[in-house]
Chains A and B, each alone.
Chain A
Amino acid sequence: MMDAGRHPNITLLTYSEVVEVSGYVGNFQVRVRQRPRYVHTDLCTGCGACAEACVFKRGVPNEYDAGLSRRRAAYIPMNGQAVPLKAVIDDQACLFLSKGKCTQACLEACPTRAIDFSQKERFIDLNVGAIIVATGFEMFDPRRLPAFSYGKSPDIMDGLQFERFSSATGPTRGEILTSRGEKPKRVAIIHCVGSRDEHANRYCSRVCCMYALKHAHLVRDKTGAEVFEFYMDIRAFGKDYEEFYERVQGEGVYFVRGRGAEVIVLDDGRIQVKAENTNLGLPVQIEVDMVILETAMEAPRDSDKVASLFGISRSASGFFQEAHPKLRPFHTNTEGVFLAGACQAPKDVPDTVAHAGAAASEALALLSRGQVVISPTTAVVDEQLCSGCKTCIVLCPYSAISFVEDAGVARVNEALCKGCGTCVAACPAEAITARHFSDRQILAELEALLVPA
């Protein structure tokens, strides 16, 4: 993280989103929208004085702590560990920016006068040869499966919230405590929440077994509580993973083979977990004081927008579709656009790093080659015949056809055209030919095919 922040060849564009992509392999034009931070990053030292001074004491849920703590409108992201280490003023939360009512104490508090409420969003245009999409995943929201009672008790948390409790930078500075502020005595860990479930996602989310085992270890290590793991199978597939599973078994964790069926919050706040122990063929009901729901990785909600922006498709699970499941797992069907990490499928850290390294090497191969060969099997417009009706322009799935105003005709950008033939079939003036798939060639082929040999 720090290395990426200070590498001379890396330009960080944070608080930014790609809004437009045009061009083709080797020559993409990209427009990025950068949201205003209301802070001059060249002046800000990341000291946090603005956050101290921010009058919005109640604040808003802190995303870094998965909502377990609150932050003010002016803040240093990631509890002060942001890269770049710069303050942000959240315009949704800021009383001045959202309601126009605030003493603007942060302005005065800032020792370098870095705060500027007049900042506007800005657009940055980039020219690049290769694009790597590494947009990641979202965690499944357990509210979608009401049987787990997520949200009904502060002691029922999802895996990411547990990570924050256990982290030294988290809201309890790494102590695992129940909502009463005590160490838990009995903890239930429920696997496959939102995965391998036809009511949520059918796929195995791949990482949850291992992080659930890690959570069991951390609970045992930090609190000594009894831990009950409700699992269907343990998928410890990676290097040293099975050994880790055996280690956690040796630490005295109770493994109950059967999906956790229901989490019940009683009127007095006590929590019961119901499941079936499929090894014994018996129903199980235990009382615990903490439940960790090990949720699945999901494709982010706006993946459809990202997919259409970069011209990539999605698999049934919602993750981005690779060009070939085995031989081209980090390519897309748009040349020059590569996939890295969990945006392609759920992945753990080692697999993500490997996938990203491979995507980078593909991008590097393209950049260092310096040249791309553009296939000549494209559509071509006969400008004598084109009536300028623009029918083809809206139909082209690759936005490869543009209208030449002076000449009043359509023209194909051969670098963008994939030769799909949509425009050829649609042109009412028959002015477009698909090279290598001309009518003459196709009709000759058909005539020869349809007569018995």
Chain B
Amino acid sequence: MACEEPRIGVYICYCGINIGATVDVEEVVQFAQTLPNVVVARSHRYTCSEAGQEMIRQDIRQLGLNRVVVASCTPRMHEPTFQNVLASAGLNPYYFQMANIREHVSWVVDDPAQATEKAKRLVRAAVARVNFHEPLQPRQESVTPAALVVGGGIAGIQAALTIAEAGYPVYLVERQPSIGGHMAQLDKTFPTLDCST
């Protein structure tokens, strides 16, 4: 897989007017089409929408894409979304790269010409990078079915009881010789004036 010729799809997002009002999205699409190994470049009003995701899935299947670049918002927001699109179309999710042309461009660059130039560069950088991506496999590890709660005040007691009630063993560690914490020192508690212990 790694040695086959890259076939890259590039998707430029309007994000409604978030990107579209500042960046000339169609100009970026045309520019992307000229980049090496790019098979298709398209725009979408909301690439993260179900329709946008389906567009990418269709292209992967019909055009035989093996790399995908989306230029839209921050990867903190939608990188997992698009990685899942690749996975659902049978591609390794690490064949994906995102260019952030919203937080890094349209939201911070006022001049449309400069914004469009910066968006083009970020798209070209993402395309250049994705050529060298390699498939990676996440590992699965089993979980030890027990919890540690550090601190035996009202917070620790509440957390420990909730976990214990669900059937898991809990170790409740308290520095003092008794659990209870500050709560056990209080007389009554506001606003209902009920007893604290």
Chain A contacts to B: CB under 8 angstroms: 1, 3-5, 7-18, 24-28, 30, 32, 37, 63-64, 66, 77-78, 81-84, 86, 88, 126-137, 139, 160, 163-164, 166-168, 170, 174, 210-211, 213-214, 217-218, 238, 240-241, 243-244, 306, 310, 340-343, 348-349, 352-353, 355-357, 359-361, 363-364, 366-377, 414-415, 435-436, 438, 440-442, 444-449, 451-453
Contacts and interface: CB of A to CB of B under 8 A. Distances in A.
9 contacts: A16-B173, A26-B143, A82-B180, A128-B171, A210-B191, A374-B139, A415-B141, A446-B125, A448-B125
B174 interface: yes
B164 A88 contact: no
A1 B142 contact: no
B61 interface: no
B195 to A, nearest CB: 9
Q: What 5 pairs across the A-B complex have the smallest Cβ distances?
A: A341-B155, A244-B191, A82-B178, A134-B156, A360-B162
Majority-rule SS of B interface residues: mixed
A376 to B, nearest CB: 4
B17 interface: no
A133 B124 contact: no
A214 B195 CA distance: 13
A373 B173 contact: no
A63 B180 CA distance: 13
Contact of B168 (A63, A136, A367): A367
B4 interface: no
A410 B14 CA distance: 46
Contact of B187 (A83, A130, A166, A441): A166
Contact of A341 (B137, B153, B176, B184): B153
A367 B143 contact: yes
A10 B161 contact: yes
A441 B161 contact: no
Contacts of A83: 178-180
A440 B128 CA distance: 10
Contacts of B133: 436, 441
Interface hub of A17, A341, A352, A414 (most chain B Cβ within 10 A)? A341
Q: What does DSSP make chain A's interface, helix, strand, loop or mixed?
A: mixed
B146 interface: yes
A170 B184 CA distance: 11
A166 B170 CA distance: 34
Given A13-B171, A163-B185, A440-B132, A136 B158 contact: no
A24 B144 CA distance: 11
Interface in B181-197: 181-193, 196-197
Nearest to A438: B132
Most chain B CB inside 10 Å of its own CB: which residue of A3, A78, A131, A132: A132
B66 to A, nearest CB: 16
Given A25-B143, A126-B171, 20 more contacts: A12-B152, A27-B143, A28-B144, A28-B148, A128-B144, A128-B147, A131-B148, A218-B188, A243-B191, A244-B191, A342-B155, A356-B155, A360-B162, A363-B147, A375-B138, A415-B139, A415-B141, A435-B136, A444-B129, A445-B126
